[in-house]
């Protein structure tokens, strides 16, 4: 359920009761389970969770970029600036994807065409969505490469993806995503496999372009530290569900879900002495085809009690703190 204050402006994106399942040989995977949230114009929403928590499937559900055997529930509603995306035909949706809503995928090497030059890949979007002539589109490609911090852009437009470093390929993916001036950018793990310095440069680049264009953004990451200071609101996902949701400042000052706390404790810290043992969350994420009874996090939780294993906790709303969490024995409460 979305709790929207009366004086809050209408969101540019509103997700209501989104559920996505995937048919596999092992059973039905409940990848996204009754997700609801709003995203305001110009704001950043951080979606955080381990691999397999449903973050990427959630983002692909918004744009109908799912595998063939995936299915979005007919009860789900996805609204973008008044358009109900999940009710649109593929042809109509193609006028929105890439132009008004753009996406940066996890692995730029898999999202970039290995047999097309960088310049042609950027130009392709400009020609298709904005109707530019090819020469103008190629010139604009050089400008876009410059804007994302790639040196020698006139030379790089003639290169192929394999000729670029990981950080440069990610910048190219960002240039393609931003080419048509989207109103919403979905960045799915945009800094995965990049070193810390390049990570910071990529995130700063996205923040700078967002501020210039008043663009809304969904930042998907497994690292709470990446979302810290860059997101207005944060959603924490586990086993396809939202388990905690709050303003970023509120979440970091008073997190309630033990899973969120465990994610936070797993972040490496600069102040740690050399050879300090790194914290990690013990156990494995649950099998989404056969979720345990009760709380899905219970088998890994340090605060688990009998009730946790019997009944799934609802997503409860604390109106005093504008904070949602799904836990019978939240952090900060007497257990």
Residue 272's pLDDT is: 63
Average pLDDT over residues 6-16: 84
Dihedral angle, C-alpha 65, 230, 277, 240, nearest 10 °: -30
Residue predicted with more confidence, 190 or 243: 243
Q: How confident is the model at residue 10 (pLDDT cuts 50, 70, 90)?
A: confident
Q: What percent of the chain has pLDDT over 70?
A: 93
pLDDT at 2 over 70: no
pLDDT at 49 over 70: yes
- The reply to whether 171 falls in a domain is yes
- The reply to whether 105 falls in a domain is yes
Separation CA 17–CA 13 (nearest Å): 13
Residue 66's pLDDT is: 93
- The reply to whether 53 falls in a domain is no
Cα separations (Å) of 4 from 38, 151, 193?
8, 45, 37
Residue 56's pLDDT is: 93
Angle in degrees, 0-180, between the axes of helices 118-130 and 166-178, rounded to the nearest 10: 10
- The reply to whether 123 falls in a domain is yes
- The reply to whether 122 falls in a domain is yes
Separation CA 73–CA 59 (nearest Å): 15
For 292, the 3-state DSSP assignment is coil
Residue 93 has which token pair? 């949706």
Assess contact for 247 and 254: CB atoms under 8 A: no
Residue in the block written with tokens 């092992």: 26
Separation CA 70–CA 75 (nearest Å): 15
- Whole domain around residue 165: which residue ranges? 101-181
State pLDDT tens for residues 20-38.
999 999 899 999 999 999 9
Residue 269's pLDDT is: 65
State pLDDT tens for residues 224-260.
988 988 999 999 999 999 999 999 999 999 999 999 9
Average pLDDT over residues 181-206: 88
Q: How confident is the model at residue 1 (pLDDT cuts 50, 70, 90)?
A: very low
Separation CA 257–CA 5 (nearest Å): 24
Full-model pTM: 0.91
Q: How confident is the model at residue 92 (pLDDT cuts 50, 70, 90)?
A: very high
- The reply to whether 315 falls in a domain is no
Residue 52: how many CA atoms within 13 Å on its side-chain side?
Answer: 8
Separation CA 39–CA 280 (nearest Å): 31
State pLDDT tens for residues 157-181.
999 999 999 889 989 999 999 999 9
pLDDT at 62 over 80: yes
How many domains is the chain partitioned into structurally? 1
- The reply to whether 221 falls in a domain is no
Pick from 74, 73, 100: which is nearest to 13 by CA?
Answer: 100
pLDDT at 221 over 90: yes
- The reply to whether 199 falls in a domain is no
DSSP state of 112: S
């Amino acid at each position: 359920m979305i709790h929207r204050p009366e004086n809050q402006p209408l969101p540019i994106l509103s997700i209501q009761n989104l559920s996505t399942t995937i048919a596999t040989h092992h059973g039905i995977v409940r990848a996204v389970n009754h997700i609801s949230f709003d995203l305001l114009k110009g704001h950043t929403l951080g979606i955080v969770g381990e691999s397999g928590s449903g973050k990427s499937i959630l983002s692909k559900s918004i744009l109908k970029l799912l595998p063939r055997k995936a299915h979005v529930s007919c009860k789900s509603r996805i609204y973008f600036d008044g358009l109900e995306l999940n009710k649109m035909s593929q042809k109509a949706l193609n006028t929105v994807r890439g132009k008004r809503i753009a996406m940066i995928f996890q692995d730029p090497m898999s999202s970039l065409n290995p047999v097309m030059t960088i310049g042609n890949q950027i130009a392709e979007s400009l020609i298709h969505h904005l109707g530019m002539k090819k020469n103008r589109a190629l010139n604009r490609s050089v400008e876009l490469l410059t804007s994302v911090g790639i040196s020698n852009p006139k030379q790089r437009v003639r290169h192929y993806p394999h000729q670029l470093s990981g950080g440069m390929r990610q910048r190219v993916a960002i240039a393609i995503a931003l080419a048509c001036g989207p109103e919403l950018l979905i960045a799915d793990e945009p800094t995965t496999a990049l070193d810390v310095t390049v990570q910071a440069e990529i995130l700063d680049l996205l923040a700078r372009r967002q501020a210039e264009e008043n663009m809304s953004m969904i930042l998907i990451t497994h690292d709470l530290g990446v979302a810290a200071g860059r997101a207005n609101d944060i959603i924490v996902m586990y086993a396809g569900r939202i388990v905690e949701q709050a303003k970023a400042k509120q979440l970091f000052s008073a997190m309630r879900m033990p899973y969120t706390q465990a994610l936070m404790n797993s972040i490496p810290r600069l102040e740690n002495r050399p050879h300090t043992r790194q914290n990690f969350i013990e156990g494995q994420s649950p099998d989404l085809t056969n979720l345990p009874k009760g709380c899905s996090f219970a088998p890994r939780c340090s605060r688990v009690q009998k009730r946790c294993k019997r009944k799934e906790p609802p997503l409860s709303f604390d109106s005093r703190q504008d904070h949602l969490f799904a836990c019978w024995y939240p952090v900060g409460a007497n257990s």
